[in-house]
Amino acid sequence: MYELRNVTKRYTRGKESIDALDGVDLTIADGDRLVIQGPTGGGKSTLLQMLGALDRPTAGEVVLDGTDLARLSETRLTKVRSENIGFVFQSFNLIPTLTAQENVETALVPLGVKPKERRERAAEALTSVGLGERLGHLPSEMSGGQQQRVAIARALVKQPKVLLADEPTGNLDESMRDEIMDVLERMWKELGLTFIMVTHDSAIAKKAPRLATIRKGRISVKENAGA
């Protein structure tokens, strides 16, 4: 469970400063699915960075399961991230020289998982996203949708509590967008994840049960009981 209290993130460049987040309060329960939308520059990616322990706020608290991430050392933040949080990005971020299976295995290396178990768990994760036949393929030998599925398997192989996705369908055409949204939704349900996704796609936002909008660093949250 996340509890954000009065979170401010100020970026300063020379004499100019901007509050990318300006007093954000937000609670996200375990197993929630939250979609974040808003105009470009509104603060979406900055919020995701706070939730993902990739950066700390300038002021306020980002409490994950009772621990304030804003107060952790860099080493502890890295540990929280590698154990609890899976990331999926718009640009897939796969390593081009590694096969699908090797790309997925990279998520287990920092956790000290032995090579044999790494291979087995990576194969299992790829099978669960429908890529059991593609373990030995390089990213360049796969479609955009398949590459994004490898990235999803890499995010989930460590069995995180939280999945954060930043425009996961942004580089995909419409049919692949639907395919990736189906995989993400199925994983959210099957694994009981807390799933938080940034999107510019109004069709996806419309279907979201809980929708946060961020403008000029300020957040408003709407529940959509019908979605």
Ligand X SMILES: Nc1ncnc2c1ncn2[C@@H]1O[C@H](COP(=O)(O)OP(=O)(O)OP(=O)(O)O)[C@@H](O)[C@H]1O
Residues binding ligand X (CB under 6 A): 11, 13, 18, 20, 38, 40-46
For residue 178, the minimal CB distance to ligand X (Å) is 22
User: Which residue do the tokens 């300063």 mark?
Assistant: 12
Least distance from C-beta 57 to ligand X, angstroms? 13
Closer residue to ligand X (CB): 127 or 171: 171
Minimum CB distance to ligand X, residue 162 (Å): 18
Comparing CB distances to ligand X, the nearer of 46 and 103 is: 46
- Min dist. Cβ of residue 157 to ligand X (A): 27
DSSP secondary-structure letter at 87? Answer: E
Smallest gap from residue 53 Cβ to ligand X (A): 16
Pick 46 or 101: Cβ nearer ligand X: 46
* CA atoms of 29 and 65, how far apart (whole Å): 10
- Altogether, the residues listed in the chain come to a count of 227
Q: Which is nearer to ligand X, 18 or 191 (CB)?
A: 18
CA atoms of 189 and 217, how far apart (whole Å): 30
What separation in angstroms does the CA of 13 have from each of 17, 18, 19, 47, 52? 6, 9, 12, 19, 24
Provide the β-strand partners of residue 24.
Answer: 7
Amino acid sitting at position 25: D
Nearest residue (CB) to ligand X, 16 versus 133: 16
Nearer to ligand X, 44 or 134 (CB): 44
How far apart are the C-alpha atoms of 128 and 148, rounded to whole Å? 13
On the 0-12 / 13-18 / 19+ scale of CB atoms within 10 A, 32 is: middle
Instruction: Provide the minimum distance between the beta carbon of 146 and ligand X in the complex, in angstroms, as a whole number.
Output: 25
CA distance 181 to 170: 11
Candidates 40, 37, 49, 50; CA nearest to 6 is: 50
Strands (E), 15-58: 16-28, 33-37
